Amino acid sequence: MNSQPAKSKTDSGKEFLDSFLNSPDRLQILEQAVASARTGIVITDPLLPDNPIVYANQAFIDLSGYPMEEILGKNCRFLQGADRDQPELKVLRSALNEGAPFVATLRNYKKNGALFWNELSISPVRDARGKVINYIGVQNDVTSRLEAERRVSEFYSMVSHELRTPMSSIRASLGLIDDGSAGELPPPAMRLIRIGLQNAERLLKLVDDILDMKKIESGKLRLNTTLVDPKQLITDAINSLSTQAASAHVQLETNADGQKQFLADPHRISQVLVNLVSNAIKFSPADTTISVKVKQEDSMMRFSVTDQGPGIDAGDFEKVFVKFQQLDSSDTRSQTGSGLGLAISKTIVELHGGNIGVESKKGSGSTFWFMLPMVPNE
C-alpha cells in the first residue's frame, strides 16, 4: 500500500510548471507564444537613446500597419502622429520616469492615417539590482468596442427620452382622470383607467430600472447624501404603495417612531424600501401583514421588511440579489418585475457602505433587511 500522502491539485500543477520552466526549449516556446499572440507586444530599451523599440510581434505590425523595418529602432510615439496633446501622455511620462507600470487608452494612428483607440499597458523589466532594463508594451485596438459602447449609450438615452417622457405624461394624465380632476366617469371606464394607470407605472418602473442598471454598470450612480429621518422614509414608501397593498388585500404596518436622523441619499434609500415592500406585497397572500421596521444597532441603522409569503430556500439567498434572477415563483400569485430591483437595491446599499440580506424559511415568510452606517463611507 502506498503510504505517501495524496498530492494536492496545486502540488501536481506546480510539477507541470517546474518541468516546463526547466525544459531546454522553454525560451524558444515562450518566444513563439509572444510572436503568435493576437495582441500587439513591443519591447523597448530605455538604456538606448530615446527608448527605442527593439522587438515587435506580428500583431503589432497588423495593428499599426507599419512594416517591421519602420518600427524597430523608433520610439513608440510615432503612433501618435501630431495628436500629442492627450492628458494620458503626462501620466505616461511620469510613470516612465519612475519606472512604474502604466495602463491607459490613447488615440493612435495607423500608417494609412486611420485613427484607432489603443488600449496600452506598459510594464518595466528590472535586473537583479532593480534597474529598469526594458519595458514591455501590450497594445489592443479597442476602437470597435468603444464604438459599440457609444452606440449602447446612445440607445439608453434614446430609451430615456423617447420612452420615458411620453410614458410619464400618459401616467400623469391617467392619474388626473383617476383622482377625479377631469370630472366623473362611469365605473366601468374608471376600472379601465386604473388598469391603464397600473400598467403605465409598471412600464415606467421597468424603464427606470434599466436606466439605473446602466448607470451602475458604467459607475455613474452617485449618492446625494443629506440628513434623513428614517420614519419619514418608511412612511413615504408605505404611502406610495398603499394602492398596491389595498388591491392585494395586504396590511402594511411600521414601528418607525423615535429613530435618530442619519446621513444617506433619501431618494435612493426610498427606492430600496419601495422595492422591498413592493416585492413583499407581490409575494404576500391576501389578508396577511407586512411589517416594516427600523432600529439603530450600534453605529448602523437597520431596516427590515417582513412578510408572511411563501419564503425562500436558503440556497437561493444570494441568487435573489443577482440581476435578472427571478426565483421560480409558481407558488406565488404574481411575478411581474424586471428582475433588476434587488440587484439595484444591493448596489445602492453597498454604495452607502452598508449591506443587505434576507432571512427566510420556505413556507414561513421572509425578512429582507439592510443596514446602513449612520455616517456613510466617503
Ligand X SMILES: Cc1cc2nc3c(=O)[nH]c(=O)nc-3n(C[C@H](O)[C@H](O)[C@H](O)COP(=O)(O)O)c2cc1C
Write down the least CB distance from residue 47 to ligand X, Å. 12
Q: Which C-beta is closer to ligand X: that of 59 or that of 342?
A: 59
CA-to-CA distance for 271 and 212, rounded, in angstroms?
11
Write down the least CB distance from residue 95 to ligand X, Å. 9
User: Which triple of cell numbers denotes residue 299?
Assistant: 453605529
Among residues 313, 312, 314, 277, the alpha carbon closest in space to that of 293 is found at 277
Nearest-CB residue to ligand X?
137
The number of helix segments (H) and strand segments (E) in the chain equals: 11, 12
Write down the least CB distance from residue 53 to ligand X, Å. 8
At 326 the three-state DSSP class reads coil
- The DSSP element (H or E) to which 366 belongs, if any, is strand 366-373
Binding mask 122-161 for ligand X (x = CB under 6 A): x------------x-x-x----------------------
Please report whether residue 57 would count as binding ligand X according to CB under 6 A: no
Judged by CB under 6 A, the chain residues 250 through 289 that form the site for ligand X are none
Q: What is the Cα Rg of the chain in Å?
A: 30
User: Which triple of cell numbers denotes residue 186?
Assistant: 362611469
Q: Which C-beta is closer to ligand X: that of 56 or that of 238?
A: 56
Q: Find the farthest-apart pair of alpha carbons in the chain and give their distance in angstroms, rounded.
A: 93
Write down the least CB distance from residue 108 to ligand X, Å. 5
Residue among 96, 159, 221, 351 that touches ligand X (CB under 6 A): 96
Q: Which C-beta is closer to ligand X: that of 108 or that of 259?
A: 108
Write down the least CB distance from residue 150 to ligand X, Å. 21
| Site stretch for ligand X (CB under 6 A), options 117-125, 253-261, 308-316, 347-355 | 117-125
How many residues touch ligand X under the rule CB under 6 A: the total is 20
User: Which triple of cell numbers denotes residue 234?
Assistant: 418608511
Phi, psi dihedrals of residue 70, rounded to the nearest 5°: -95, 0
Residue among 34, 37, 61, 89 that touches ligand X (CB under 6 A): 89
Backbone φ/ψ region at 291: left (φ over 0), alpha (ψ -120 to 50), beta: beta
Please report whether residue 76 would count as binding ligand X according to CB under 6 A: yes
Write down the least CB distance from residue 312 to ligand X, Å. 51
Residue type for 309, please? G
Residue type for 76, please? C
Place of cell 443596514: 371
Residue among 93, 111, 126, 131 that touches ligand X (CB under 6 A): 93
Contact 139, 190 (CB under 8 A): no
Residue among 12, 23, 32, 75 that touches ligand X (CB under 6 A): 75
Contacts of 75 (CB under 8 A, 6+ apart): 44, 50, 51, 52, 53
Residue among 51, 173, 198, 235 that touches ligand X (CB under 6 A): 51
Binding region for ligand X (CB under 6 A): 42, 44, 51, 75-77, 79-80, 89, 92-93, 96, 106, 108, 118, 120, 122, 135, 137, 139
